Structure 1
Amino acid sequence: MRLPLARRPVHAAPDADTPVIEFRGVGLTYPGPPPVEALRPCDLTVRRGEFLTMVGPSGSGKSTFLNVAGLLDTPTSGRYLLDGIDTGRLPDHARTALRGRRIGFVFQAFHLLPHRSALENVTLAMLYTSVPRAERLTRAREALRQVGLGHRADALPGRLSGGERQRVAIARALVGRPSLLLCDEPTGNLDSANAGSVLSLLDRLHTAGMTVMVITHDSEVAARGRRTVAVRDGALSEQVTS
């Protein structure tokens, strides 16, 4: 018997036509006093293979949205389906497992271990996964080749440029083969040349079928998306469709 999407186990493969992200009246209010409505109830669908960007000023609710979409915070209203799985029905350990399997995170700070090579940094992302030990190095090398750094596998982060370090961070996010690449200001620490290189990489990943969401305050970065959503005072609104 086929299980309804919302009841499928976290390890079940998603259907191609199932949205990666589906918010149905999702909101988050922090308790007071007074209570703070950090994310107003909203609807949002991100389909497989989309490249969506989110813009908004500091304090607008971008970080709250990222925390909810990334399963770091639990919404206080509505339903959030990730790959068709109703995340609100999951216990904490299952939410953690779902996050690890389905979401690859890329942050402004690279968070690389300085005394570990690029290959080791990527491999360590699989330490607490079900990927067999013998397969981890193969996957890590593949991920580094995917971001154009196969030749730098043995380099320490201190020997890499800022753009290369962010590419290692992207490889680390990709190595688990997630459904969604969730990027928070991925070019914020980079000069214009390195930023352009990283954005071109995200374009290529999207062209290859990866679902990409970039949260940014930079209008030029936002313009790289095929859709842009604006957030202000905790409210989401579709800004651009191209």
Structure 2
Amino acid sequence: MIQDKTPPVIEFRSAALTYPGPPPVPALLPCDLTVRRGEYVTIVGPSGSGKSTFLNIAGLLDTPTDGTYLLDGIDTTRIKDKERTILRGSRIGFVFQAFHLLAHRSASENVELAMIYQRVPRSQRRARARTALLRVGLGHRLDALPTRLSGGERQRVAIARALVTDPSLLLCDEPTGNLDTATAESVLELLDQLHGDGATIVAITHDPQVAARGQRTVSIRDGRLTDTLAEQVTA
């Protein structure tokens, strides 16, 4: 049997983060976690459990104070801030609960903004944005302003913006938190489709129905991470 030598997309090795005091506050206790390419993992936990800290580390917004975080095999704890910014822009696509779209920019222009930091030529941005919007079912809304879009459509624009750079990781923070039940289901079906196409997805959620869509669920409570699948395997 041939082993897959591709490095995991996410690999935490005793990664932890303590905010300086006084007194120091341990937000995430030392933990190990591996997310392989093509996996769909959901992260759950109560408010204040450490989910946001996990998101900030995984998204290269914070650096672990202990341990190591490898993204696509790259030790992110050993690179400079400028390199981290470039790595974040090229390897991670973010989808937030609040959409974070510019109201005075069209759907296509909002998606194009994600390519500026990658220095994609202006002549290519429009075509790539259109392809991304087609992928999420919004080919007919290229020129619409966010104020003219429904909540579900705005989240689809946000997903298209996250996908347009062809990231290694789609990192979703409460992706259905601002949506009604029917609209949330359509967005979850889109994420299922993207996962079926090979996307690596990590979704942070408080909603059990959202958590159930993943292949496995990781729980965080009081800064302690528990990988449900790993527990089942070792039990």
Which 5+ residue runs of structure 1 have no aligned equivalent?
1-14
Task: Measure how far apart 1:90 and its partner are.
Answer: 0.4
Does residue 169 (structure 1) correspond to residue 161 (structure 2)? The answer is: no
CA distance in 2, matches of 1:75, 1:113: 31
Q: Which residue of 1 aligns with 2:183?
A: 194
Of 150, 158, 162 in structure 1, the residue corresponding to residue 139 of structure 2 is 150
User: SS in structure 2 opposite 1:53?
Assistant: strand
Does residue 224 (structure 1) correspond to residue 213 (structure 2)? The answer is: yes
Of 21, 30, 35 in structure 2, the residue corresponding to residue 32 of structure 1 is 21
Q: From the superposition, tell whether residues 16 and 200 of structure 1 become closer, same or farther in structure 2 (CA, over 3 Å).
A: farther
Task: Measure how far apart 1:240 and its partner are.
Answer: 4.6
Taking structure 1 as the reference length, the TM-score comes to 0.92
Of 53, 56, 61 in structure 2, the residue corresponding to residue 72 of structure 1 is 61
CA distance in 2, matches of 1:62, 1:90: 24
Provide Cα deviations, 1:2-53, integer angstroms capped at 9, x if missing partner: xxxxxxxxxxxxx972100000000000111111110000000000000000
Q: Which residue of 2 aligns with 1:105?
A: 94
Which 5+ residue runs of structure 2 have no aligned equivalent?
none
Give the CA RMSD over aligned residues. 1.3
- In the TM superposition, structure 1's runs of 4+ consecutive aligned residues that sit over 3 Å from their partners are none
Taking structure 2 as the reference length, the TM-score comes to 0.95
CA distance in 2, matches of 1:183, 1:106: 5
Percent sequence identity is 73
Does residue 213 (structure 1) correspond to residue 202 (structure 2)? The answer is: yes
CA distance in 2, matches of 1:97, 1:143: 21
Amino acid at match of 1:45: T
**Number of residues paired by the alignment?**
228
Task: Measure how far apart 1:239 and its partner are.
Answer: 2.3
Q: Which residue of 1 aligns with 2:70?
A: 81
Q: Which residue of 1 aligns with 2:128?
A: 139
CA distance in 2, matches of 1:240, 1:83: 21
CA distance in 2, matches of 1:180, 1:152: 26
1:22-61 residue pairs with structure 2 within 5 A? 22-61=11-50
Amino acid at match of 2:131: E
Q: Which residue of 2 aligns with 1:7?
A: none
Q: Which residue of 2 aligns with 1:10?
A: none
